[in-house]
């Protein structure tokens, strides 16, 4: 079963969820705001994708971080920041079981999921 991680009211999430529904692809939605960030999965994502890919450095959550925190970012610090600020994770994060896909591009989903 595909799991899509994110925040329900995010516009990009809405597009991804609509695409999955329209494509008749079953999925489970994990809302960071309601369910938190799953720590075991987070550790796997950090190892597989790296904090640089996982953290959205263009969003307001990143900009609100103290400059010293941003400049000292590494995997260990990223883990703590993500657990404290789930909104900082790029959205959506789609886990097919075989791969993790960050962000949403319809063409990319089409190529990988159909």
Domain ranges across the chain: 2-113
Three-state secondary structure of the chain: CEEEEECCCCHHHHHHHHHHHHCCCCEEEEEHHHHCCCHHHHHHHHHHHCHHHHECCCCHHHHHCCHHHHHCCCHHHHHHHHHHCHHHECCCEEECCCCEEECCCHHHHHHHHC
Per-residue pLDDT, 53: 97
Six-digit token pair at 20?
């999955």
pLDDT band at 113 (very low <50, low <70, confident <90, very high): very high
pLDDT (tens digit per residue) in 67-105: 999 999 999 999 999 999 999 999 999 999 999 999 999
> Model confidence over 14-64: pLDDT tens digits?
999 999 999 999 999 999 999 999 999 999 999 999 999 999 999 999 999
**pLDDT value of residue 22:** 97
Quick one: fold of 2-113? Glutaredoxin (3.40.30)
**Which of 2, 3, 7, 10 is labelled catalytic?**
10
Whether residue 114 has pLDDT greater than 90? no
Contact 27, 2 (CB under 8 A): yes
- Is pTM beyond 0.85? Reply is yes
Residue 104 is a catalytic residue: no
How far apart CA 31 and CA 8 sit, in angstroms, is 6
């Amino acid at each position: 079963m595909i799991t899509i991680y994110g925040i329900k009211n995010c516009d990009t999430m809405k597009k991804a969820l609509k695409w999955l529904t329209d494509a008749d692809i079953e999925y489970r939605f994990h809302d960071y705001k309601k369910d938190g960030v799953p720590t075991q999965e987070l550790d796997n994502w950090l190892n597989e994708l790296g904090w640089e890919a996982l953290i959205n450095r263009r969003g307001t959550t990143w900009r609100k971080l103290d400059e010293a925190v941003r400049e000292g970012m590494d995997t260990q610090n990223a883990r703590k920041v993500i657990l404290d600020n789930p909104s900082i994770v790029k959205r959506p994060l789609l886990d097919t079981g075989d791969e993790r896909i960050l962000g949403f591009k319809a063409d990319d989903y089409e190529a990988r999921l159909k």
